[in-house]
Every structure is written in structure tokens, then in C-alpha cells.
A and B are shown apart, each in its own frame.
Chain A
Amino acid sequence: NAGVMQNPRHLVRRRGQEARLRCSPMKGHSHVYWYRQLPEEGLKFMVYLQKENIIDESGMPKERFSAEFPKEGPSILRIQQVVRGDSAAYFCASSSGTSDYNEQFFGPGTRLTVL
């Protein structure tokens, strides 16, 4: 029973390049959340998606960042023209959305380093 999967686990980009982070939710889960974590800090919500819909993107920077969760395939967080400040760990979590508990289970994260 696979958990939440993220790839790549580590990503190095030069300033100005694009970064694409992928997240496959747990089997049976249709809700995906993306969080960003800076070193020694807590998790900051970025965006909440269901299949083909963005439900809440209030935590996502208005420029350069976008997210999608297509009908088929993983959810993708895209960062265009990366800058050094984008270096962080990006975690994806998924939930079934069918329970009042709505537990969110996290993937292993993608550690982005911008040179």
C-alpha cells in the first residue's frame, strides 16, 4: 500500500531555470496539498487541489509559481525562473476528503537547491 510519492527527492537548479516537482497521492486520495518548509522553520501552506481543480491557492506566490492536478497523472508544482530564495523543502500531502478527520499524509519531500 504505497504512501504519498514525490519526485525528484533532490533537485538542483540554476537561477532562472524552471523547477517541476511531482506528487502522486496515496491510493484512494483525491485531495493534494503543497507545503514549503525553510530550514529550521515550520510548514507553510501553498496550495490545495482536487482533481482538475484548484481549491485554495492563497499561500502561493502570485508570480512564477503554479500548480495543477490533472485528471490523470501526478500533481505538479511548477516554479519558473527560480531564485535563490526558492531553495527549500517542498512537501506534498494527500487526504481522502471523505472523513471528518481528514488526516493528511505527507510525502518524503523534494529538496530544491537553487545555485
Chain B
Amino acid sequence: QQPVQSPQAVILREGEDAVINCSSSKALYSVHWYRQKHGEAPVFLMILLKGGEQKGHEKISASFNEKKQQSSLYLTASQLSYSGTYFCGTGGGSQGNLIFGKGTKLSVKP
């Protein structure tokens, strides 16, 4: 099943914080976060594994609540370069395809 992302869109001023949520009705093994700018490829940001391990971006953090089957991406002190669409992808195991949410469009204004 496709994970559900919220909010669908958010507008921020530079320096403000944002939280993007990703929830699934299915048990999660891992959650992968990507950012895509218009017309470009998705760029890997962060991966979180069941059990709490995470690996990714220095300036972006995330949490993974296994019981709630939910992950949240925290963007602090946003910069103009943070603008783009954020996708979470859920995987059923250590290998295999990702099922992506519909995305959250983030716009950071000066």
C-alpha cells in the first residue's frame, strides 16, 4: 500500500522549521526520504531502519515510530535550497522496490 504523506504542501519563510509526515497501514522495515526539484532526479536524503538506525543528511533529521508505522522528516532553519517535493518511500525488506507517497511540496520564500 502507498504510504500517506502530510501535509500535501507547505510554504515557509527562510529560517522557519517544517515537519513532513509519512504513515503506512503496513508494517515498515525501512523508510527512505528523497527530495526532488522540478525537472530533476530524486536525491537521497535519509534512510531509517526498523530498530532505530538511520543514515543520511547532516542538516536534516528524521524519526521512525515502528508502533505507529510512521516516519517524520524534520527540516530546521530552512534555506531556499530546501524547496522541492519530498517523497517518502517504504520498503518491505532489506532489498527490493520502494513504494513512494504522493509527495509534499515545500516552498521556501526569502
Contacts and interface: CB of A to CB of B under 8 A. Distances in A.
* A, B in one complex: yes
Interface of A: 31, 33, 35, 41-45, 48, 55-56, 59, 91, 95, 97, 99-109
Contacts, number: 64
Interface in B20-65: 30, 32, 34, 40-44, 47, 49, 53, 55
A45 B102 CA distance: 13
Interface of B: 2, 30, 32, 34, 40-44, 47, 49, 53, 55, 87, 89, 91, 94-103
Given A42-B100, A101-B55, A102-B30, A91 B44 contact: no
Nearest to B41: A106
B12 to A, nearest CB: 20
B97 A107 contact: no
Closest 4 CB pairs of A and B: A45-B97, A106-B41, A43-B100, A42-B100
A113 to B, nearest CB: 14
A43 B41 contact: no
